[in-house]
Amino acid sequence: MNALRAVVGSRTMVPEVVVTPMRRRHLRAVLRIEEHTSSTPWSHGLFLAEARRPERIYLVARMGSTVVGFAGLLFALTDGHVTTIAVDPERQGARIGTRLMLVLLREAIARGATAVTLEVRASNEAAQALYRRFGFLPVGTRKGYYRHPDEDALVLWAHEVDTGEYAARLDRIEASLDSPLLVERLSVLPSSMVPGSSLSSNMVSSNMVSSNMVSSNALPNSEEQDGSA
Ligand SMILES: CC(C)(COP(=O)(O)OP(=O)(O)OC[C@H]1O[C@@H](n2cnc3c(N)ncnc32)[C@H](O)[C@@H]1OP(=O)(O)O)[C@@H](O)C(=O)NCCC(=O)NCCS
């Protein structure tokens, strides 16, 4: 049986997607997804070192206790740089990447980002479509940036992400999701959870996960500190 499905009576329940800070306990699943989605996969040590550093945001998307995607961003002053994003190949196309980008960008903006950049393989149509929706535009290429196979990177930027206009873009993307954007242990609430927001009235769900307003700087040193799934 698919581990993500629980049969209750005659109904099959599929757990909601929840976005939460990356924890050490998530790394095994993160590495499995990384191995299947990257031609130059990061190691356990690199994820651990990266996510523990200050000026970083590392998130996972999970369904129940199963990690189905992850994303990361580093800061260089007020510029955010998306370092990684990947979704379990079996779950791609289900808007999990969209959820991760929404939360990553809102967290980055809340922590002072005014512009965000990233690199993407010139041939990676799916990722480019995702980034276009978030307002990223190509500004140049990095020759031979990728290996296995060798390929140029497109350099994309989204500017003025700290404006009301960009916040409205993110709200529209959130409103287009077919179920509420759920976050846990993050400082920024999705619009659907902000009282009085235009999204809150029609997207509040009874199984909504509350934010407990802790820092998004993740990966506590011990498992004991980590009470989440
Ligand atoms: C790129 C990636 C993270 C997107 O995550 P995802 O959950 O599959 O994407 P979503 O379902 O949120 O789709 C968002 C948009 O991307 C585009 N998209 C997604 N899959 C696509 C595909 N196979 N072909 C073309 N466009 C696609 C669509 O525009 C989609 O919007 P829509 O749902 O309104 O049609 C995922 O495909 C992935 O992990 N790819 C491998 C790793 C990778 O390439 N990472 C990016 C490195 S720069």
Tell the residue nearest (CA) to atom 22 of ligand 1.
126
Verify whether ligand 1 is closer than 6 Å to residue 83 (CB atom): no
Residue 115 lies in a domain: yes
Count the Cβ atoms, other than its own, within 10 Å of residue 113: 24
39 within some domain: yes
pLDDT (tens place) for every residue of the chain, 229 residues total: 455 555 444 456 678 999 999 999 999 999 999 999 999 999 999 999 999 998 999 999 999 999 999 999 999 999 999 999 999 999 999 999 999 999 999 999 999 999 999 999 999 999 999 999 999 999 999 999 999 999 999 999 999 999 999 999 999 999 999 999 999 998 776 776 666 665 554 333 323 333 332 333 456 433 333 333 3
What are the distances in angstroms from CA 222 to CA 62, 77, 112?
20, 30, 29
| CATH number of domain containing 73 | 3.40.630.30
| Distance from C-alpha of 30 to C-alpha of 35, rounded to nearest angstrom | 9
Please tell me the distance from the alpha carbon of residue 7 to that of residue 1, in angstroms, as a whole number. Answer: 10
- What is the model's pTM? 0.86
Q: Which domain holds residue 49?
A: 14-186
13 beta partners: 6
Give the bridge partners for 63, in sequence order: 17, 66
Q: Does residue 210 lie within any of the structural domains?
A: no
The answer to whether the CB of 29 falls within 8 A of the CB of 39 is no
Quick one: which of 186, 193, 207 has its CA closest to 63?
Answer: 207
Q: Flag whether 162 is in a domain.
A: yes
- Answer whether residue 203 is part of any domain: no
Q: Which ligand 1 atom is at minimum distance from the Cα of 118?
A: 48
224 Cα: distance to centroid of ligand 1 (angstroms) = 35
Q: Is the CB of 128 under 6 A from ligand 1?
A: no
- What Cα–Cα distance (Å) separates residue 200 from each residue in 20, 88, 103, 207, 208? 20, 29, 16, 14, 12
Question: Is 160 inside a domain boundary?
Answer: yes
- The domain tally of the chain equals 1
Residue 176 lies in a domain: yes
Are the CB atoms for 31 and 38 separated by under 8 Å? no
pLDDT at residue 219, as a whole number: 61
Question: Of the residues 101, 130, 136, which should be mutated to test ligand 1's pocket, given the most ligand atoms within 8 Å of the CB?
Answer: 130
- Does 29 map to a domain? yes
Residue 116: name the closest of 67, 70, 170 by CA. Answer: 170
Which atom in ligand 1 lies closest to the alpha carbon of residue 33?
39
